């Protein structure tokens, strides 16, 4: 029995992972088509707007196989991306994949704690609002949530920076560490947290608003289900009823977070630009400024593949928590 069950699970996970292959293939194909249809020579997109000599261009053409038929080029493109070769950055002349890999941890340091804390708080607020639907309290929370996700993070970020960092001086205005007085150990951690606080809170308001709204709707719906009515009829305490409803209401949150991953990352890169946080957003900003096409393409490909994988991961987690999904 035990063996059969874990077998089912393994089959489910393998199936879900295999399902990412066609999507990833499409993502790579899209980026290939983009390079082909972009105005000007693909070579501009691949190496940037320098002034390479004719000999250099010929050398790059031969190396990248640009003198070969299109289907051979497509094949080469696939092969290179599978080898994590995203070309060379024009501005900083390093491999694109290394530049991205170097900045990714900083982006995650900003994104993950904020996502975790404010998702939990947002859900709590939503559940609280759902206990008395359409009351004044609930309506106020709903309107605040709409206002919360109507402010673009970069607008909120600029205002928070002005008020809390520039005028009140409570937080540093830019960057991730104080390079003028480098500290290590606990002092270094405190320094990092001081730099992290403001951008993380700004980023978090969005999760707070979106998740409060989601949890509220899901909870109201769950509390209206037959099994809740029957649990109440059987004399189950209100606390226990809420707990039962909460469990069922919150399972889809896993999927929602997965589907919103691209949104979450977008918010993070925009906040990074406001606060000079040295992550992927800053890298992207500099790449746009320097017309660094290989780096911009690389960022798109990595993020798009990341989205496909995160979606698969959240589906798998959902399947682990809820057997109905994996046996469907």
Judged by the rule CB under 8 A, the positions of this chain that interact with another protein are: 23, 26-27, 30, 34, 38-39, 45, 134, 139, 142-143, 146-147, 149-152, 154-155, 158-159, 161-162, 166, 173, 262, 265-266, 270, 273-274, 284-285, 288-289, 291, 293, 296-297, 299-300, 303-304, 307-308, 311
Nearer to another protein by Cβ, of 70 and 143: the residue is: 143
Smallest distance, another protein to C-beta of residue 211, A: 16
How far apart are alpha carbons 168 and 45 in whole angstroms? 45
How many CA atoms, within 13 angstroms, populate the side-chain half-sphere of residue 222? 22
Nearer to another protein by Cβ, of 11 and 29: the residue is: 29
Instruction: Find tokens 């209401």 and name the residue.
Output: 249
Smallest distance, another protein to C-beta of residue 202, A: 13
- Among residues 203, 228, 206, 223, the alpha carbon closest in space to that of 129 is found at 223
Smallest distance, another protein to C-beta of residue 323, A: 25
How far apart are alpha carbons 296 and 300 in whole angstroms? 6
Smallest distance, another protein to C-beta of residue 101, A: 17
How far apart are alpha carbons 1 and 297 in whole angstroms? 49
Smallest distance, another protein to C-beta of residue 182, A: 23
Strands (E), 11-137: none
Nearer to another protein by Cβ, of 214 and 293: the residue is: 293
How far apart are alpha carbons 248 and 221 in whole angstroms? 10
Neighbours of 207 (CB within 10 A): 26
Nearer to another protein by Cβ, of 84 and 151: the residue is: 151
Instruction: Find tokens 């593949």 and name the residue.
Output: 305
- Among residues 116, 27, 42, the alpha carbon closest in space to that of 73 is found at 42
- Among residues 213, 215, 207, 216, the alpha carbon closest in space to that of 153 is found at 207
Smallest distance, another protein to C-beta of residue 127, A: 20
* Angle of CA points 157, 162, 163, to nearest 5°: 100
Smallest distance, another protein to C-beta of residue 294, A: 11
Nearer to another protein by Cβ, of 117 and 151: the residue is: 151
Nearer to another protein by Cβ, of 62 and 303: the residue is: 303
**Alpha carbon 137 to chain centroid distance?**
32
Coil, strand or helix at 278: coil
Smallest distance, another protein to C-beta of residue 78, A: 18
Q: What share of the chain is helix, strand, coil (3-state, %, to 5)?
A: 80, 0, 20
Nearer to another protein by Cβ, of 211 and 311: the residue is: 311
Nearer to another protein by Cβ, of 231 and 307: the residue is: 307
Strands (E), 97-255: none
């Amino acid at each position: 029995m035990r063996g059969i069950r874990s077998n089912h699970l393994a089959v489910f996970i393998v199936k879900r992972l295999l399902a990412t292959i066609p999507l990833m293939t499409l993502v790579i194909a899209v980026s290939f088509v983009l390079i082909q249809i972009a105005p000007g020579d693909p070579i501009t997109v691949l190496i940037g707007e320098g002034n390479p000599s004719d000999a250099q261009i010929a050398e790059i053409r031969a190396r990248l196989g640009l003198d070969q038929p299109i289907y051979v080029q497509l094949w080469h493109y696939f092969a290179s991306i599978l080898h994590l070769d995203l070309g060379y950055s024009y501005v900083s002349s390093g491999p694109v994949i290394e530049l991205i890999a170097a900045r990714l941890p900083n982006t995650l340091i900003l994104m993950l704690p904020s996502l975790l804390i404010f998702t939990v708080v947002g859900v709590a607020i939503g559940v609280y609002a759902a206990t008395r639907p359409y009351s004044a309290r609930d309506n106020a929370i709903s309107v605040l949530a709409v206002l919360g996700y109507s402010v673009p993070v970069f607008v909120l970020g600029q205002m928070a920076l002005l008020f809390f960092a520039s005028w009140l001086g409570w937080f540093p205005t830019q960057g991730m560490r104080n390079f003028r007085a480098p500290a290590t150990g606990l002092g270094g951690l405190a320094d990092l947290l001081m730099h992290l606080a403001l951008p993380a809170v700004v980023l978090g308001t969005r999760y707070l608003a979106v998740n409060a709204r989601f949890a509220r709707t899901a909870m109201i719906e769950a509390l209206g289900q037959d099994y809740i009515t029957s649990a109440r009829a059987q004399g189950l305490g209100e606390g226990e009823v809420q707990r039962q409803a909460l469990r069922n209401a919150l399972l889809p949150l896993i999927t929602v977070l997965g589907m919103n991953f691209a949104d979450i990352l977008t918010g993070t890169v925009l906040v990074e630009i406001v606060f000079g946080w040295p992550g992927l957003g800053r890298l992207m900003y500099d790449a746009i400024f320097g017309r660094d096409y290989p780096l911009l393409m690389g960022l798109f490909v990595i993020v798009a593949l990341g989205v496909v994988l995160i979606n698969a991961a959240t589906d798998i987690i959902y399947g682990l928590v809820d057997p109905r999904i994996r046996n469907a």
